[in-house]
Amino acid sequence: MGAYDGVVLFDAPDDETMTAFALKVSSLGNVKTQTLRAFRKEEMEGILAKIK
């Protein structure tokens, strides 16, 4: 009904592994992917501290 039919969360050891997985799944032709970077609490605190 909206832009997405489903949401799946994955945790990969690094960005390269996740990208390889997304490219492989997308190559099958019936799945489109969009990746978003998640930040740990400590990382987000550091980011927010920069905008104060």
- The residue segments making up the domain with residue 22 are 15-49
Six token digits for residue 2: 């909206």
Q: Is residue 4 assigned to a domain?
A: no
Show pLDDT as tens, one digit a residue, over the chain (52 residues). 677 788 888 889 998 998 999 999 999 988 888 888 889 999 999 999 999 8
Cα–Cα distance between 21 and 19 in angstroms, integer?
5
Domain tally, the chain: 1
| pTM to 2 decimal places | 0.59
Q: Is residue 26 assigned to a domain?
A: yes
Q: Is residue 39 assigned to a domain?
A: yes
